[in-house]
Amino acid sequence: MAYKTVIYEKEGGVAVMTLNRPEVKNAFDAKMQAEMDAVLTRVAKDRTARVLIITGAGKAFCTGADVAYLMSLGETHKLHQTTMEEMMRGDGNILTTVLKIRNLPKPVIAAVNGTAAGGGLALALACDIRIASEAARFNMIFTKRGVIPESGSTMTLPRLIGTARALELVFTAEAIDGREAERIGMVNKVVRADQLMTTAKEMAAKISQNSPIALGFAKAAIYKGANETDIAAQMDYEAYVESVLFNTEDFQEGIKSFMEGRPAKFKGK
Protein backbone atom coordinates (compact mmCIF):
# COMPACT_ATOMS: atom_id res chain seq x y z
CA MET A 1 0.00 0.00 0.00
CA ALA A 2 1.33 3.43 -0.98
CA TYR A 3 1.13 6.39 1.39
CA LYS A 4 1.43 10.10 0.59
CA THR A 5 2.54 11.59 3.91
CA VAL A 6 4.44 8.70 5.50
CA ILE A 7 6.94 6.14 4.26
CA TYR A 8 6.55 2.56 5.45
CA GLU A 9 9.38 0.04 5.18
CA LYS A 10 10.10 -3.32 6.76
CA GLU A 11 13.31 -5.30 6.92
CA GLY A 12 13.11 -8.59 8.72
CA GLY A 13 11.16 -8.06 11.91
CA VAL A 14 11.84 -4.30 12.05
CA ALA A 15 9.22 -1.93 10.62
CA VAL A 16 9.95 1.77 10.08
CA MET A 17 7.40 4.56 9.68
CA THR A 18 8.93 7.84 8.49
CA LEU A 19 6.78 10.96 8.77
CA ASN A 20 7.20 12.54 5.34
CA ARG A 21 6.10 16.17 5.20
CA PRO A 22 9.53 17.79 5.56
CA GLU A 23 8.35 21.00 3.89
CA VAL A 24 6.27 21.71 7.04
CA LYS A 25 8.64 20.03 9.50
CA ASN A 26 6.44 16.91 9.48
CA ALA A 27 3.51 18.73 11.03
CA PHE A 28 0.45 16.53 10.76
CA ASP A 29 -2.72 17.27 8.85
CA ALA A 30 -5.79 15.09 8.42
CA LYS A 31 -4.10 12.94 5.78
CA MET A 32 -0.99 12.25 7.85
CA GLN A 33 -3.05 11.43 10.92
CA ALA A 34 -5.10 8.92 8.93
CA GLU A 35 -1.98 7.35 7.41
CA MET A 36 -0.17 7.07 10.75
CA ASP A 37 -3.25 5.34 12.09
CA ALA A 38 -3.34 3.00 9.07
CA VAL A 39 0.33 2.04 9.49
CA LEU A 40 -0.18 1.22 13.16
CA THR A 41 -3.14 -0.99 12.26
CA ARG A 42 -1.00 -2.66 9.61
CA VAL A 43 1.86 -3.31 12.04
CA ALA A 44 -0.54 -4.69 14.64
CA LYS A 45 -1.86 -7.24 12.14
CA ASP A 46 1.54 -8.21 10.70
CA ARG A 47 2.89 -11.14 12.72
CA THR A 48 6.30 -10.73 11.08
CA ALA A 49 6.68 -7.12 12.28
CA ARG A 50 8.23 -7.43 15.74
CA VAL A 51 9.33 -3.82 16.44
CA LEU A 52 8.27 -0.43 15.02
CA ILE A 53 10.55 2.61 14.63
CA ILE A 54 8.99 6.04 14.09
CA THR A 55 11.17 8.84 12.70
CA GLY A 56 10.90 11.96 10.57
CA ALA A 57 12.13 12.97 7.11
CA GLY A 58 14.37 16.01 6.81
CA LYS A 59 15.43 18.12 9.77
CA ALA A 60 12.41 17.61 12.06
CA PHE A 61 10.80 14.67 13.82
CA CYS A 62 7.35 16.27 14.08
CA THR A 63 6.23 19.76 15.08
CA GLY A 64 2.66 18.89 15.95
CA ALA A 65 -0.46 19.96 14.12
CA ASP A 66 -0.13 21.89 10.88
CA VAL A 67 -1.45 25.39 11.59
CA ALA A 68 -3.03 25.61 8.14
CA TYR A 69 -4.88 22.37 8.87
CA LEU A 70 -6.06 23.63 12.25
CA MET A 71 -7.37 26.87 10.82
CA SER A 72 -9.19 24.98 8.08
CA LEU A 73 -11.31 23.25 10.70
CA GLY A 74 -13.28 26.38 11.41
CA GLU A 75 -13.28 29.77 13.04
CA THR A 76 -10.81 30.25 15.87
CA HIS A 77 -13.46 30.52 18.59
CA LYS A 78 -14.97 27.19 17.46
CA LEU A 79 -11.67 25.45 16.82
CA HIS A 80 -11.09 23.67 20.13
CA GLN A 81 -14.58 22.27 20.49
CA THR A 82 -14.78 21.17 16.86
CA THR A 83 -11.34 19.59 16.89
CA MET A 84 -11.86 17.62 20.09
CA GLU A 85 -15.30 16.39 19.04
CA GLU A 86 -13.89 15.17 15.73
CA MET A 87 -10.80 13.65 17.32
CA MET A 88 -12.73 11.69 19.92
CA ARG A 89 -14.77 9.95 17.22
CA GLY A 90 -13.40 7.02 15.25
CA ASP A 91 -9.95 6.40 13.88
CA GLY A 92 -7.39 8.46 12.06
CA ASN A 93 -6.26 11.20 14.42
CA ILE A 94 -3.39 11.95 16.80
CA LEU A 95 -5.37 10.78 19.83
CA THR A 96 -6.07 7.36 18.37
CA THR A 97 -2.45 7.21 17.15
CA VAL A 98 -1.14 7.75 20.69
CA LEU A 99 -3.52 5.14 22.06
CA LYS A 100 -2.59 2.63 19.36
CA ILE A 101 1.12 3.11 20.08
CA ARG A 102 0.56 2.53 23.78
CA ASN A 103 -1.71 -0.47 23.21
CA LEU A 104 0.32 -2.02 20.40
CA PRO A 105 1.63 -5.36 21.76
CA LYS A 106 5.00 -4.62 20.15
CA PRO A 107 7.83 -2.27 21.18
CA VAL A 108 7.81 1.16 19.52
CA ILE A 109 11.03 3.21 19.26
CA ALA A 110 11.01 6.93 18.46
CA ALA A 111 14.15 7.87 16.52
CA VAL A 112 14.04 11.62 17.09
CA ASN A 113 16.08 13.14 14.29
CA GLY A 114 15.28 16.82 14.86
CA THR A 115 12.65 19.06 16.42
CA ALA A 116 9.88 17.33 18.37
CA ALA A 117 7.46 20.02 19.48
CA GLY A 118 3.89 20.20 20.71
CA GLY A 119 1.91 17.23 19.46
CA GLY A 120 5.09 15.90 17.87
CA LEU A 121 6.70 15.66 21.29
CA ALA A 122 3.53 14.02 22.62
CA LEU A 123 3.92 11.45 19.84
CA ALA A 124 7.52 10.72 20.86
CA LEU A 125 6.53 10.48 24.53
CA ALA A 126 3.90 7.87 23.66
CA CYS A 127 6.59 5.57 22.28
CA ASP A 128 8.24 2.98 24.52
CA ILE A 129 11.85 4.00 23.88
CA ARG A 130 13.29 7.29 22.57
CA ILE A 131 16.67 7.57 20.85
CA ALA A 132 17.66 11.11 19.91
CA SER A 133 20.07 12.67 17.49
CA GLU A 134 22.40 15.37 18.77
CA ALA A 135 20.40 17.63 16.45
CA ALA A 136 17.14 16.90 18.28
CA ARG A 137 15.25 19.62 20.10
CA PHE A 138 12.29 19.04 22.42
CA ASN A 139 9.69 21.71 23.11
CA MET A 140 6.48 21.65 25.15
CA ILE A 141 5.37 24.78 23.35
CA PHE A 142 1.65 24.55 24.20
CA THR A 143 1.32 27.37 26.74
CA LYS A 144 3.09 29.73 24.35
CA ARG A 145 0.22 29.06 21.96
CA GLY A 146 -2.48 29.50 24.60
CA VAL A 147 -3.32 25.83 25.16
CA ILE A 148 -2.22 22.99 27.43
CA PRO A 149 -0.23 19.84 26.56
CA GLU A 150 -2.45 17.16 25.05
CA SER A 151 -2.47 13.73 23.43
CA GLY A 152 -1.70 12.19 26.80
CA SER A 153 1.48 14.18 27.39
CA THR A 154 0.31 15.53 30.75
CA MET A 155 0.52 11.88 31.85
CA THR A 156 3.52 10.59 29.91
CA LEU A 157 5.88 13.52 30.54
CA PRO A 158 5.76 13.66 34.38
CA ARG A 159 6.02 9.87 34.54
CA LEU A 160 9.28 10.09 32.62
CA ILE A 161 10.96 13.13 34.17
CA GLY A 162 9.01 13.88 37.36
CA THR A 163 6.33 16.44 38.09
CA ALA A 164 8.58 19.40 38.91
CA ARG A 165 10.64 19.13 35.72
CA ALA A 166 7.51 18.55 33.64
CA LEU A 167 5.93 21.69 35.06
CA GLU A 168 9.08 23.69 34.33
CA LEU A 169 9.13 22.60 30.68
CA VAL A 170 5.41 23.29 30.27
CA PHE A 171 5.43 26.61 32.12
CA THR A 172 8.49 28.03 30.35
CA ALA A 173 7.71 26.48 26.94
CA GLU A 174 11.46 26.54 26.31
CA ALA A 175 13.22 24.02 24.08
CA ILE A 176 15.88 21.64 25.38
CA ASP A 177 18.48 19.74 23.38
CA GLY A 178 19.07 16.02 23.20
CA ARG A 179 21.76 15.94 25.89
CA GLU A 180 19.53 17.71 28.40
CA ALA A 181 16.63 15.43 27.45
CA GLU A 182 18.87 12.45 28.15
CA ARG A 183 20.03 13.91 31.47
CA ILE A 184 16.50 14.35 32.79
CA GLY A 185 15.29 10.98 31.51
CA MET A 186 13.12 12.09 28.58
CA VAL A 187 15.18 10.05 26.12
CA ASN A 188 17.07 6.79 26.56
CA LYS A 189 20.09 7.64 24.46
CA VAL A 190 21.64 10.43 22.35
CA VAL A 191 23.82 9.64 19.35
CA ARG A 192 25.42 11.49 16.45
CA ALA A 193 22.99 12.41 13.70
CA ASP A 194 24.61 10.04 11.23
CA GLN A 195 24.27 7.18 13.71
CA LEU A 196 20.63 7.67 14.68
CA MET A 197 18.89 5.17 12.42
CA THR A 198 21.74 2.67 12.67
CA THR A 199 21.47 2.76 16.46
CA ALA A 200 17.67 2.53 16.41
CA LYS A 201 17.71 -0.38 13.97
CA GLU A 202 20.38 -2.22 15.94
CA MET A 203 18.31 -1.92 19.10
CA ALA A 204 15.15 -2.94 17.24
CA ALA A 205 16.91 -5.96 15.74
CA LYS A 206 18.14 -7.04 19.17
CA ILE A 207 14.63 -6.69 20.61
CA SER A 208 13.10 -8.58 17.68
CA GLN A 209 15.10 -11.69 18.57
CA ASN A 210 13.06 -12.12 21.75
CA SER A 211 9.65 -13.75 22.06
CA PRO A 212 7.03 -11.43 20.52
CA ILE A 213 4.37 -12.80 22.87
CA ALA A 214 6.53 -12.10 25.91
CA LEU A 215 7.41 -8.63 24.60
CA GLY A 216 3.76 -7.72 24.24
CA PHE A 217 2.84 -8.95 27.71
CA ALA A 218 5.93 -7.31 29.22
CA LYS A 219 4.98 -3.95 27.70
CA ALA A 220 1.45 -4.20 29.07
CA ALA A 221 2.68 -5.32 32.50
CA ILE A 222 5.20 -2.50 32.86
CA TYR A 223 2.67 0.19 31.96
CA LYS A 224 0.17 -1.38 34.33
CA GLY A 225 2.80 -1.54 37.05
CA ALA A 226 3.66 2.14 36.56
CA ASN A 227 0.14 3.01 37.71
CA GLU A 228 -0.31 0.24 40.29
CA THR A 229 -0.19 1.11 44.01
CA ASP A 230 -0.48 -2.43 45.34
CA ILE A 231 2.59 -4.61 44.72
CA ALA A 232 0.69 -7.75 45.65
CA ALA A 233 -1.91 -6.99 42.98
CA GLN A 234 0.87 -6.49 40.45
CA MET A 235 2.48 -9.79 41.40
CA ASP A 236 -0.88 -11.49 40.96
CA TYR A 237 -1.06 -10.03 37.46
CA GLU A 238 2.49 -11.19 36.71
CA ALA A 239 1.64 -14.70 37.91
CA TYR A 240 -1.43 -14.76 35.66
CA VAL A 241 0.61 -13.67 32.63
CA GLU A 242 3.30 -16.25 33.39
CA SER A 243 0.66 -18.99 33.55
CA VAL A 244 -0.42 -17.99 30.04
CA LEU A 245 3.15 -17.84 28.71
CA PHE A 246 4.06 -21.24 30.16
CA ASN A 247 1.62 -22.78 27.68
CA THR A 248 3.15 -21.18 24.59
CA GLU A 249 5.51 -22.68 22.02
CA ASP A 250 7.78 -19.67 22.57
CA PHE A 251 8.31 -20.65 26.19
CA GLN A 252 9.19 -24.20 25.22
CA GLU A 253 11.59 -22.89 22.56
CA GLY A 254 13.18 -20.51 25.07
CA ILE A 255 13.92 -23.38 27.46
CA LYS A 256 15.02 -25.77 24.72
CA SER A 257 17.38 -23.26 23.09
CA PHE A 258 18.93 -22.49 26.47
CA MET A 259 19.54 -26.18 27.19
CA GLU A 260 21.02 -26.67 23.71
CA GLY A 261 23.19 -23.56 23.90
CA ARG A 262 21.83 -21.92 20.74
CA PRO A 263 19.88 -18.77 19.85
CA ALA A 264 16.12 -19.16 20.20
CA LYS A 265 13.91 -19.11 17.12
CA PHE A 266 10.63 -17.70 18.31
CA LYS A 267 7.48 -18.01 16.22
CA GLY A 268 5.13 -15.89 18.31
CA LYS A 269 2.96 -18.90 19.16
221-234 per-position pLDDT tens digit? 999 999 889 999 99
CA distance 157 to 163: 8
Q: Is the pLDDT of residue 81 over 80?
A: no
pLDDT cut 90: percent of the chain above it: 76
Q: What is the pLDDT of residue 74?
A: 53
How many residues are recorded in the chain?
A: 269
Q: What is the pLDDT of residue 85?
A: 52
Q: How many CB atoms lie within 10 A of CB 250?
A: 20
| Percent helix, strand and coil across the chain, each to the nearest 5 | 55, 15, 30
pLDDT in tens, 47-74: 999 999 999 999 999 999 877 666 665 5
User: Can you give the residue ranges of every domain in the chain?
Assistant: 6-208, 212-260
Greatest CA separation found in the chain? 67
Q: Say if residues 36 and 91 touch (Cβ distance below 8 Å).
A: no
- Tell me the pairing of strands 60-62 and 108-112: unpaired
Which CATH class for the 6-208 domain? alpha beta
- Tell me the pairing of strands 115-117 and 137-139: parallel
CA distance 220 to 231: 16
Q: Is the pLDDT of residue 201 over 50?
A: yes
Which CATH class for the 212-260 domain? mainly alpha
CA distance 122 to 103: 15
pTM above 0.85, yes or no: yes
